[in-house]
Amino acid sequence: MKKLLKIKNYSTFSDFTDRKSDWDGTFKDINLLYAPNGSGKTSVSLLFESLKGSNELVIKKKNLNASEGPEILLMGQDNREVKFANGRWNRHFEFIEVFNSFYFEDNVYKISPSKNQNDVTSIHKIFNLEKLVTIRQKLQSLKRELSDAGVAVSQANLTLKRKRKEQVGDIERYTNDFIEAKARTSLIDSKIKEVTYRESNIPFQEELNSYKNHINSYLRRFSENIKIKAISILFHEHLNKIRHLIYDIEINGKVVEISDRSEVSLKYFLSDGDKNALSLSFFLAKFELIENSNEFIVVVDDPFTSFDTQRKLMTIKELVKLSGKIKQLYIFTHDLHFAREFLHHSTKQVLALQIARVNGDSVIKYIDIESELLTGLMRDITTLHKFIVYGSESNNHRIQIARCIRPSLEGLFRIKFYAYIRSTDWLGDFIGSIRESDENSPFHRLKECISDIEAVNDYSKTFHHSNSPYEQEQISEAELRTFVQQTLQLIQKI
């Protein structure tokens, strides 16, 4: 997708194009979306997943307060509209892969293909089922034999019952015919299982081994104690679809085969971090095998659940590598520190966005991640600088800016005059020290600024009182700009 134009009546989103936002809607090759407290990112993740052909995913995320259905408008790379209206998309995209909590749930104890019937990517892309044509024919032939054998069993059974009723002397002959007929059905049934569960895997041994090796290659980077020992495909009974990929796993040197799962439950033997490492490794390994990976749009929603610092760093490095193999990457996260680390490691330009609350609705806007991670004095001063450059978004935003004025001056006073002030002193106390200072006082050089400091203090102190009238009244942006500029000038002088 190239451009996101409108999201209306969808989960936490209202129509964000009607709200003030500095983002023009154009996505890049790598897009990082920060969602404080996780708000909204799952909705966007499901939006992309639904583009593969599942209209129901969008309908399920309808805004509770909306009387009408969701409306979504995107612009594709070909500049054609991609629109969701009246309960359906006007276009679908097969080359989208999404890693989110749903993928995690479905790909821990087994590897699952997409439930979306229109999804021709993922596991089905790796394992070409056309290889099963001959084996399918053999299976169909065996099933016809089984059907015929079943008829023979029924006939032998009826004959046996009739002969018993007639009390014929040579009943053993008819009993043996019935037993032989049943034995033949058992034999054919065994052959069917052999074809379904073993022979059907033979054409895919190269792909299975390659997939296993790539999974283990990723697992080594995330975990030292788990390793995939073998993978096999579990097909539907007609060999026309993959149900699951099942695997044997080695945990701390102990091999757990699929037949052991009832006694050794991976649910309890694996940590949450190991489970996430497994599912993420399954996901990443696919792109080592898909030949046209450069056509894919990949969405990764919070990929490091329960990961420690080392695993988070490794995840970042692997996602950076993945971005070089695919067409477009979207990363959704609630962790700003993770977002900053990704920015530092990425070799491509990254578009950093955030889901923000504006006047009760969610909008998508630009975010300066480095600035967001500043704390204390530097955060307050940066907020004042950004206001001079970009202005404000709302009255609530102007209140937050005004509340940065006094702490900025107080913080600088505490640094410059740390040896002459008490921890309980505030800007009013500093003003008193300046007013009473003589030529020998370190505060004396600021006497020429006393009237400006007092003016800024008088303006800003109102915003630090509870039930301030400014919380109900509109703050003048022009007046706020005057006092912010005056504060920044004082910071230079202090």
The three-state secondary structure class of 441 is coil
Strand partners, 33: 332, 353
**Tokens (6 digits) for 295:** 């056509």
CB neighbours of residue 204 within 10 Å: 21
Does residue 463 contact residue 483 with C-beta atoms inside 8 Å?
no
Interior angle at CA 412, CA 426 and CA 456, nearest 5:
60
C-alpha separations of 341 from 36, 181, 346, 371 in Å = 17, 69, 9, 14
**Alpha helices for 253-299 (secondary structure H):** 266-269, 272-289
Rounded to whole angstroms, the Cα distance separating 249 from 274 reads 12
pLDDT at 163: 86
**Total residue count of the chain as it appears in this document:** 494
Q: What is the pLDDT of residue 346?
A: 93
Residue 306: its pLDDT value, please? 66
DSSP string covering 25-78, please? SB--SEEEEE-GGGTTHHHHHHHHHHTTT-HHHHHHTB-TT-SS--EEEEE-TT
In eight-state DSSP terms, residue 476 is: P
Tokens of 405: 């004025």
Query: What is the per-residue pLDDT for 182?
Result: 95
Tokens 């700009």, residue? Answer: 481
Rounded CA-CA distance 233/133 in Å is: 16
For residues 221 and 32, what is the distance between their CA atoms, to the nearest angstrom? 23
Neighbouring residues of 265: CB distance < 8 A, sequence distance ≥ 6: none
Return the bridge partners of 78, or none: none
Q: 313-329: string of b/e by CB count within 10 Å (b at 16+)? A: ebbbebbbebbeebbbb
| Token pair recorded at residue 3 | 């451009």
Residues of the chain with pLDDT below 50 are 1-3, 18-19
Query: How far does the chain reach from its first CA to its final CA, in angstroms?
Result: 50
pLDDT of residue 302: 82
Q: Are the C-beta atoms of residues 488 and 409 closer than 8 Å to each other?
A: no
Residue 145 exposure: Cα atoms within 13 Å on the Cβ side? 17
For the segment 337-367, what is each residue's pLDDT rounded down to a tens digit? 899 999 999 989 999 998 877 666 677 888 8
Residue 210 in tokens: 């390659």
How many separate helices (H) and strands (E) can be counted in the chain? 18, 13
Q: Report whether 30 contacts 346 (CB < 8 A).
A: yes
Burial class of residue 126, CB neighbours in 10 A (0-12, 13-18, 19+):
buried
Q: Which two tokens stand for residue 179?
A: 């037993």
AA letter at 313: L
Residue 5 has what pLDDT? 53
Average per-residue pLDDT in the chain?
86
Instruction: Check residue 2 and give its pLDDT.
Output: 47
Structure confidence by residue, pLDDT tens digits, 384-408: 999 999 898 888 889 999 999 999 9
Q: Residues near 353 by Cβ (< 8 Å), separated by ≥ 6?
A: 23, 31, 32, 33, 34, 364, 365, 366, 367
Give the CA angle between residues 471, 472, 478 to the nearest 5°: 75
